Structure 1
């Protein structure tokens, strides 16, 4: 039987944690931006230091969930909400199509070119979203995808929830790959 690991032994050194040091006691915009920044960095940390095979490794059958799939999925989510629904950009989805609605996960294969493209896509979409959120009033209304209005404020809260939920998945995926526990 394998000896259980101690959680405290596997956390990042607080001095090396890029999530620390953000604003505290900020106004509403700063608070929302910081909580979302923290969640985005958490996903990044869960994926760091892994090779293409590890990133593409599926959780358990029949699931197609992998860390690479989560990264691709979040690039798609960022693009859909910020570029398409809020900025009104007429851009195609990155991965999903009518014929392949799960292509963000299904296409997450152990190929370094796929990994590199996923990181580039995610960083590009996060950069766009951060700039949009900085430059736009929190009361700005976008479309929820079903024709209902949603404010930028609500979208930022939704994105925090979306990342937090998937970061829970990422914790379990990472632990299964190399034993690294969540934080």
Structure 2
């Protein structure tokens, strides 16, 4: 699979939705490429004082999209919206494989893309526990939040992959 090119601001786009999809797809693809560039032993090893591992970051990003798009915006009921956490930190069960976690991230991304392409960006989310009593945010506001989550965590992963002598750069 060839890497997605960076969605340059000068590239034509037909809509704001297309811009969001382009950036989210790019960031998601870079996370996946960086995870695949790491040796197996690095995937469950932390190189940072906070203790997170690359696979925990992947699972966290999957759940971030799930929490904001499905649980929040769509108002879907879920038993465990915080399934990426255990004992107040990110968690990946030893039985979960890298490929399974990457497939889950891609599947969540496909769902997010479907929501973006079928919904007006000004539409507000469904009332529910995600909002903690506040008025639900618009899809556009949620997507801005997702972009900053991906950009921030991809930056974290850049540092970790560089320390592991794996893929560096965008």
TM, length-normalised to structure 2? 0.82
Matches within 5 A, 1:131-150: 131-142=114-125, 145-148=131-134, 149-150=136-137
- Say what the alpha-carbon RMSD is for the aligned residues: 2.4
The alignment partner of 1:88 has SS state of coil
Would you say the 8 A contact 2:25–2:109 is kept in 1? no
1:17 aligns with 2:3: yes
Matches within 5 A, 1:77-92: 77-91=64-78, 92=80
Q: CA deviation at 1:126?
A: 1.2
Match of 1:54 among 18, 22, 42: 42
Q: CA deviation at 1:60?
A: 2.9
Q: Which has the larger radius of gyration?
A: 1
1:152 aligns with 2:136: no
1:177 aligns with 2:155: no
Q: Unmatched 5+ residue regions in structure 2?
A: none
The alignment partner of 2:99 has SS state of helix
Q: CA deviation at 1:107?
A: 2.5
Matches within 5 A, 1:31-180: 31-61=19-49, 63-91=50-78, 92-93=80-81, 95-96=83-84, 100-102=87-89, 105-107=90-92, 109=94, 113-142=96-125, 145-148=131-134, 149-180=136-167
Cα distance in structure 2, aligned partners of 1:55 and 1:77: 20
Q: 1:100 to 1:19 in 2, by over 3 A?
A: farther
Would you say the 8 A contact 1:139–1:151 is kept in 2? yes
Count of aligned residue pairs for this structure pair: 162
Q: 1:101 to 1:125 in 2, by over 3 A?
A: farther
